[in-house]
């Protein structure tokens, strides 16, 4: 089990209140996007900490067998060595070329698209364009690149026994390789992983000495908006 520092646990548990916070298309969100796009170097190794409720990742059960952890667990994922601001299609085409395959990517229909501003860094949902996602990518061969998962239950880091119990309720995922990359001749060893964490679930982004805390900044912006409205 990945152990968090005392400060990290406090930060993760503090942000429990913000899990259901929905980012609205306003100046504050755009400012956060601009901060990330200008503060960090595109394509450089970074560490991104994301947390969100575990409810959607767990089976609910029913009756006497109802999941006792519903509403109580945060999943904290730390993406170490990932890069931001990369283009998935260009990346997998370059990987295929390096492997000696002359393959052009034919991506399946996706639910997201680049944002109007800072589209190299962020995507938004096509249906409503109301949510913003940070583009993250890793290379399977990149040294030091890894993902760790920690569970926060009732505000504290889960013990080994609690984590084992939580794991029993998690939905099973198929660990299959991207069909697009398979068609391009990219093997598992060279596979490119592309993920899109929602902006309001990101606790911290760290790249060298640079650090930004999007979730805290968004919460502060929301509190300020309420304070101004109350005057």
Q: Using the predicted structure, report yes or no on whether residue 8 has a pLDDT greater than 50.
A: no
Residue 216 is predicted with a pLDDT of 76
Domain count, the chain: 1
Half-sphere exposure of 40 (CA within 13 A, CB side): 31
Among 126, 147, 119, smallest CA distance to 46 is for 147
Residue 43 domain flag:
yes
Domain span at 24: 6-230
- Reading the block at residue 141, the tokens are 């061969």
Residue 187 is predicted with a pLDDT of 85
Residue 192 domain flag:
yes
Residue 39 domain flag:
yes
Residue 141 is predicted with a pLDDT of 64
pLDDT tens for each residue of 78-125: 999 999 988 888 888 888 888 888 777 777 778 889 999 999 999 999
Whether the CA torsion 225, 226, 230, 231 is positive or negative: it is negative
Q: 138: how many CB neighbours lie within 10 A of its CB?
A: 21
Residue 74 domain flag:
yes
pLDDT tens for each residue of 46-88: 999 999 999 999 999 999 999 999 999 999 999 999 999 888 8
Give the CA distances from residue 199 to residues 25, 37, 143, 158, 229, in Å, rounded to whole numbers and listed in that order. Answer: 12, 13, 26, 25, 25
pLDDT band at residue 26 using 50, 70 and 90 as cut-offs:
very low
Q: Using the predicted structure, report yes or no on whether residue 223 has a pLDDT greater than 60.
A: no
Residue 93 domain flag:
yes
Cβ-based neighbours of 67, under 8 Å, separated by 6 or more: 58, 59, 60, 61, 169
Burial class of residue 166 (count of CB atoms within 10 Å of its CB; 0-12, 13-18, 19+): buried
Q: Using the predicted structure, report yes or no on whether residue 3 has a pLDDT greater than 70.
A: no
Least confident piece of the model among 54-63, 156-165, 189-198, 213-222: 213-222
Report the alpha-carbon distance of residue 40 to residue 210 in Å, rounded: 7
Report the alpha-carbon distance of residue 139 to residue 118 in Å, rounded: 23
Mean pLDDT, range 144-169, rounded to an integer: 94
Residue 207 domain flag:
yes
Residue 219 is predicted with a pLDDT of 65
Task: Check residue 25 and report its DSSP letter.
Answer: S
Residue 164 domain flag:
yes
Q: Round the CA-based radius of gyration of the chain to a whole number and report it.
A: 19
Residue 190 is predicted with a pLDDT of 83
Least confident piece of the model among 60-64, 96-100, 150-154, 163-167: 96-100
Mean pLDDT, range 218-225, rounded to an integer: 58
Report the alpha-carbon distance of residue 172 to residue 58 in Å, rounded: 9
Classify 135 as helix, strand or coil. Answer: coil
Q: What are phi and psi of 86, to 5 degrees?
A: -110, 155
Residue 127 domain flag:
yes
- CB 152 within 8 Å of CB 16: yes
């Amino acid at each position: 089990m990945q152990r968090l520092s005392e400060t990290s646990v406090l930060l993760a548990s503090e942000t429990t209140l913000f899990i259901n916070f929905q980012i609205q298309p306003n100046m504050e969100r755009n400012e956060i996007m601009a901060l990330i796009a200008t503060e960090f170097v595109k394509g450089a190794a970074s560490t991104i900490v994301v947390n969100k409720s575990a409810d959607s990742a767990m089976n609910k059960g029913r009756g006497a067998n109802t999941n006792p952890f519903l509403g109580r667990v945060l999943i904290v994922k730390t993406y170490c060595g990932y890069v931001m601001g990369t283009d998935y299609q260009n990346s997998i085409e370059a990987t295929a070329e390096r492997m000696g395959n002359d393959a052009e990517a034919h991506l399946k229909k996706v639910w997201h698209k680049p944002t109007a501003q800072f589209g190299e860094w962020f995507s938004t949902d096509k249906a409503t364009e109301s949510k913003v996602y940070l583009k993250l990518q890793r290379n399977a061969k990149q040294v030091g690149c890894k993902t760790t998962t920690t569970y926060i239950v009732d505000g504290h880091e889960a013990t080994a026994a609690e984590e084992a119990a939580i794991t029993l309720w998690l939905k099973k995922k198929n660990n299959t390789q991207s069909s697009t990359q398979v068609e391009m001749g990219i093997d598992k060893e060279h596979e490119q992983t592309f993920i899109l964490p929602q902006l309001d679930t990101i606790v911290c982004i760290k790249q060298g000495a640079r650090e930004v805390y999007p979730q805290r900044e968004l919460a502060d912006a929301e509190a300020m908006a309420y304070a101004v409205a109350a005057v």
